[in-house]
């Protein structure tokens, strides 16, 4: 069983240097523990998926440029997540409207090569199926 992810959940990118915060926008969302539940479609950079501090991926143009200017010494730059797809895998039978709920175990890919995953769902009382 997985736990639904709620606003305030902790996320992490494999190229980030600090955890980020997931935000489910509250408009029309059911609440779990008083917090809006996330959907697999919640992948808007900085609105749903917060920054991971600094990015260390050479696929990120700003990191590549700074690293080149530092004569090849990896130089992390500020992170702006760039998810490429919805979160997956979804909780197949827990839906809000027709959209599956975001649950623990989900991840999404960043354009800069990192994998963004849920570290903590923000609640541990309700389970999704």
92-114: b (≥16 Cβ within 10 Å) or e = eebebeeebbbbbbbbbebebeb
**CB of 110 closer than 8 Å to CB of 81:** yes
Q: Of 61, 81, 78, 105, which is closest to residue 14 (Cα–Cα)?
A: 81
Show the tokens assigned to 71. 């004569």
- 67-125, pLDDT tens digit by residue? 999 999 999 999 999 999 999 986 677 778 788 889 999 999 999 999 999 999 998 77
- First-to-last alpha carbon distance for the chain, in angstroms, is 6
Q: What is the pTM of this model?
A: 0.90
């Amino acid at each position: 069983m997985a736990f639904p992810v709620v606003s305030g959940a902790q996320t992490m990118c494999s190229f980030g240097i600090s955890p980020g915060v997931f935000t489910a926008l509250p408009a029309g969302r059911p609440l779990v523990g008083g917090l809006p539940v996330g959907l697999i479609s919640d992948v808007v950079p900085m609105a749903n998926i917060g920054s991971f501090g600094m990015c260390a991926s050479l696929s990120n143009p700003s990191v590549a440029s700074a690293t080149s200017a530092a004569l090849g010494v990896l130089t992390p730059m500020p992170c702006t997540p760039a998810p490429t797809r919805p979160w997956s895998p979804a909780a197949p039978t827990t839906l809000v409207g027709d959209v599956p709920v975001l649950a623990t175990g989900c991840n999404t890919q960043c354009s800069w090569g990192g994998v963004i995953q849920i570290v903590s769902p923000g609640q541990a009382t309700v389970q999704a199926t």
